[in-house]
Amino acid sequence: MKIIEVVADESYLDSMKNIAEQNEALDFWTVSGEDEARRVVRILVKPEQRQAILDALQGMLAGSSSARVVVIPVEVTLPREEEKEEETETKSTTETTREELYNSIEKNARLNRTYLLLVLLSTVVVAIGLLEDNVAVVIGAMVIAPLLGPNLAMALGTALGDTDLMWKAFKTGAAGMGLALILSILIGIFWPLNVESRELLMRTHVGFDSAALALASGAAAVLSLTSGAPSVLVGVMVAVALLPPAATMGLMLGAGQTELAYGAAFLLAVNVVAVNLAAKLGFLIQGIKPRTWLEKEKAHQSMVSYTIIWVITLAVLLLVIYFHPDFINNS
């Protein structure tokens, strides 16, 4: 449950009340302010009501330069609202609005010092875990790896037709993976390679199970975000599919093991494609789309084009795995 607070000219008051009533908001009240020409309106809404009310308010206030809409979380409200059985059955699976998703995902896709430091630290930790054959250390590195943000931002940008967000996500993701690769190459040069490490050798083999894991990771990440559930553990799952193969490729290149590095590179390619494809389809299935008709048309074209590209790419990679497994699993 959340409160949608609207600050707008008094002339919009009746329209805002109608929007609240039409969407069956739980409560509606006004707050007195210092500016008599503007009114503060608060609407108490359930999760499944937020998107429809926000869209209606944005459409109504599009011509007002002084209006402001704020979404405020609610910890508890009394008396407790009883949920009817028929409402439970028809409740939307998406409990997070488009705007909340954008705000959450966009800030995690920014290329800044914190992001690069987290990539650097997680790469060092995962490299040590791989070389020492320590699965606990590898998982620990995934907890701090910030790789979920750029991949989800790329998928959300596609769903909304937001090319700026897609480009920002691409730059952030490429910078992170590039830093992880360069750092792991340096570690591979100066740190003796443990060729008997099971954790290391596992990342040089590619199979259909690898693609299934990455697809599940991407889908789970989107489901977690759109349902309002914590995404920390899902972020670990996505990082497992991306960072260890990248670090393994760098370690193998640094140690001069080019054949093993090729297998790790192929695994990384499969995982990147699968995670992004699953995330894009996840946003599509969850009904995440722009508000206006023109934006929807743009987003539809973007989603279709990028989905086709990812599907074809993944299909080609899987065909190589099926027909030429020895070509990529040389070890």
One domain for residues 175 and 214: yes
Give the per-residue pLDDT at 196.
84
One domain for residues 169 and 219: yes
Task: State the pTM of this model.
Answer: 0.79
Tokens representing 216 are 């599940």
* Signed CA dihedral, 226, 101, 228, 236: sign only: positive
One domain for residues 81 and 107: no
Question: How far is CA 240 from its chain centroid?
Answer: 15
Give the per-residue pLDDT at 88.
45
**Structural domain containing residue 43:** 2-90
| Domain termination residue (choose one: 59, 90, 121) | 90
Run means of pLDDT, 10 residues per run, the chain, 331 residues = 86 87 87 74 86 87 84 82 53 68 86 94 94 90 87 89 90 94 94 87 88 88 77 72 92 91 92 91 84 73 86 91 69 48
One domain for residues 52 and 152: no
One domain for residues 21 and 115: no
Q: What's the first-to-final CA gap in the chain, in angstroms?
A: 54
Give the per-residue pLDDT at 324.
73
One domain for residues 12 and 109: no
One domain for residues 164 and 278: yes
In 81-239 the beta strands, taken as DSSP E runs, fall at none
Give the per-residue pLDDT at 99.
83
Residue of 146, 64, 67 whose CA lies nearest to 112: 146
Burial degree of 312 (CB within 10 A; 0-12, 13-18, 19+): exposed
